[in-house]
Amino acid sequence: MDDTEDGWVAVRQFGRRSDAEQHALVLAAAGIDCRLAARETTVTLQVARTEAARARRELNAYAFENRPRRSSPPMRPLADGLDGVLVYFGVLLLLYGAPRRNTFSLDWWSAGVAQAGAIVSGEWWRTLTALGLHADLEHLASNLVFGGLLGLCLTQLLGPGLTWLAVLLAGGAGNLLNALLHPAAHAAIGASTAVFAALGILSALTWRHRAGIWQHGVRRWLPLGAGIMLLAFLGFGGERTDIGAHLAGFATGVAAGTVLASFGHLIPQDTRAQQLYATLGIALLTVAWALALATHG
């Protein structure tokens, strides 16, 4: 931009006067004196030479705040998640009863528990099989209730198939991370890791989608903060609580949710795709249990 003879310098050039006036208001709000100079086809926004650097910073900040953003995904009806929740309930109830009845005369407990040493040695399937084993009815009921509620919420954002596939993978990753952080003898069971992974996914998705509205300040961090508070409230109590597994599940869930928030628009989410994701999730869990029972059953 050229300087004028009276000490003013042009900091922006616009094709429409209305755009120039809008940016002039931005500078006025920042306490910077400015003026408009009309030419044949453009309008320039001018400030005193001594204020030019600050004016450009203010205008750049305004442009950044108002840059085009990808819109949040439409919310699906809550009822769309009921089938997925019922399948989740059915799987956990089935895997609660099978070890207690010695179904097929197999040792489901030793085959499926997330033993750190075995996982690190290559028995990856334990990261998934352990999600279906529960020590008592109270543990099971807690995971049924909270897992079902979180699943319903996530389904509104991701769809049923993608939701439960993401929760399964993030829960398995949480068990893997927990195994890497503990000695070989450490063992863990329960869907809690997947439940807290679901909480992490939901927290990250909400945080990223609200970032466009709350670009700066404490409010942008409220969704993640709420997730951490719920983790602290639900995840640190009880003598059988595996705090490491809960933290690991939440961490892997946040990572998965961040990826889904950033690249989810590139992932097909139509009805056929949702069916495919659901099938993949069921197949993966079935293969994990088949390997577990064939190896240690």
Closest CA to 187 of 122, 251, 109: 109
Last residue of a domain, one of 65, 86, 102: 65
The single residue listed with the structure tokens 């008592």 is: 136
Cα–Cα distance measured from residue 26 to residue 120, given in angstroms and rounded to the nearest whole number: 57
Domain-embedded: residue 49: yes
pLDDT value at position 231?
Answer: 58
Least confident of 158-167, 216-225, 262-271: 216-225
Last residue of a domain, one of 29, 44, 65: 65
**217: left (phi > 0), else alpha (psi -120 to 50), else beta?**
left
Chain segment 239-277, per-residue pLDDT in tens: 556 788 888 999 999 999 999 988 888 899 999 999 999
Flag whether pLDDT at 237 surpasses 60.
no
Domain-embedded: residue 175: yes
Report, as an integer, the average pLDDT of 224-239.
55
Are 53 and 87 within one domain? no
pLDDT value at position 215?
Answer: 45
Q: Round the CA-based radius of gyration of the chain to a whole number and report it.
A: 27
Cα–Cα distance measured from residue 22 to residue 27, given in angstroms and rounded to the nearest whole number: 9
Last residue of a domain, one of 24, 44, 65: 65
Please give the mean pLDDT across all residues of the chain: 86
Domain-embedded: residue 1: no
Are 140 and 284 within one domain? yes
Cα–Cα distance measured from residue 196 to residue 95, given in angstroms and rounded to the nearest whole number: 19
Flag whether pLDDT at 288 surpasses 80.
yes
Cα–Cα distance measured from residue 270 to residue 73, given in angstroms and rounded to the nearest whole number: 13
pLDDT value at position 66?
Answer: 77
pLDDT band at 292 (very low <50, low <70, confident <90, very high): very high
CA distances from 237 to 33, 174, 242 (A): 59, 19, 9
Are 56 and 170 within one domain? no
List alpha helices for 107-265, DSSP H.
108-112, 116-120, 126-129, 137-158, 160-180, 192-210, 222-235, 243-263
Domain-embedded: residue 247: yes
Report, as an integer, the average pLDDT of 100-120.
92
pLDDT band at 70 (very low <50, low <70, confident <90, very high): low
Are 13 and 142 within one domain? no
Are 86 and 181 within one domain? yes
Report, as an integer, the average pLDDT of 191-211.
84
pTM for this prediction: 0.72
Residue 226: CATH number of its domain: 1.20.1540.10
Are 58 and 90 within one domain? no
Domain encompassing residue 37: 8-65
114 token code pair: 């997330």
pLDDT value at position 104?
Answer: 85
Q: Are strands 114-115 and 34-38 parallel, antiparallel or unpaired?
A: unpaired
Residue 49: CATH number of its domain: 3.30.70.1070
Q: Virtual CA dihedral for 164, 169, 173, 174, nearest 10 degrees?
A: 10
Helix then strand then coil, in percent of the chain rounded to 5, is: 70, 10, 25
> What is Dmax (Cα atoms) for the chain?
95
Domain-embedded: residue 72: no
Asked if 199 and 152 touch (Cβ cutoff 8 Å), the reply is no
The total domain count for the chain is 2
Report, as an integer, the average pLDDT of 216-234.
53
Domain-embedded: residue 195: yes
Query: Burial letters for 10-26: b for 16+ Cβ neighbours within 10 Å, e otherwise?
Result: bbbebeeeeebeebbeb
Are 53 and 92 within one domain? no
Domain-embedded: residue 82: yes
Are 113 and 197 within one domain? yes
Are 111 and 250 within one domain? yes
CB atoms within 10 A of CB 270: 9
Which one is predicted more confidently, 8 or 226? 8
Are 60 and 201 within one domain? no
Are 138 and 271 within one domain? yes
Are 131 and 22 within one domain? no
Domain-embedded: residue 2: no
pLDDT value at position 238?
Answer: 53
19 token code pair: 């755009």
| Cα atoms in the 13 Å half-sphere on the side-chain side of 266 | 5
Which one is predicted more confidently, 229 or 153? 153
